[in-house]
Structure 1
């Protein structure tokens, strides 16, 4: 019974805390995210997209603040705040021609970001809070 040699090396599961899908999407679409956020929310949107991109490019884990900013960026892209007539987002959205190709690009970008979030491991403590808020 004790004569067997066994490996005692512990290998944590790779899937726990895996934010690779979200990080890959953010890296691949960094410029588009920044441009779309600026178009829809001005300097605030641009700054937010930069901060989210930088957080996703950094070392894991994502912080609670990172996840809140990601949620805010998704809100901008999904036009969640354009019904507030006093917001900059409402004014900027009103200036966009619905027939412009940028509209479809923003929709595809938003869908891609949502998909990347869905494919990201939500067992991550911060990601779980984000999922509950979304």
Structure 2
């Protein structure tokens, strides 16, 4: 068994999840946040998969993606997210895909919050 202090299991799992789902995640980000959001997903995925230390900047990027996927900013009518959400047809199959991607991302992110809590503004809660 690997110990997370020796081998970053949650980081590898999250990077793998993002790499394995890069195109659907980019598509979800574009649907929910436009082309700039899709570009940010690509950059975050690349950075997270590199063998560099995790930083609070990466933590903020992960929290941004979590907020995008969980629709945290759609109530603020001045955001791109609110505009794009208003155009989304609830019966569009992309909605189901976004929900599935969000569930998988959140599971992997939760594990990383436990493994590397110092990089996040919102700290992991004890189980």
TM-score > 0.5 by shorter chain: yes
Report the TM-score, using the length of structure 1 for normalisation. Answer: 0.79
Report the TM-score, using the length of structure 2 for normalisation. Answer: 0.83
Residue aligning to 2:80: 88
Residue aligning to 2:27: 35
RMSD (Å), alpha carbons: 2.1
Q: Rg: which structure is higher?
A: 1
Partner Cα separation in structure 1 for residue 117 and residue 78 of structure 2: 35
Q: Quick check: 53-62 or 64-73, which moved more?
A: 53-62
Answer yes or no: is the 8 Å Cα contact 1:22–1:116 preserved in 2.
yes
Residue aligning to 1:54: 46
Paired residue secondary structure (1:99): coil
Which of residues 94, 99, 102 in structure 1 aligns to 2:94? 102
Residue aligning to 1:114: 106
Cα deviation digits, residues 37-56 of structure 1 (max 9, x gap)? 11111122112211211112
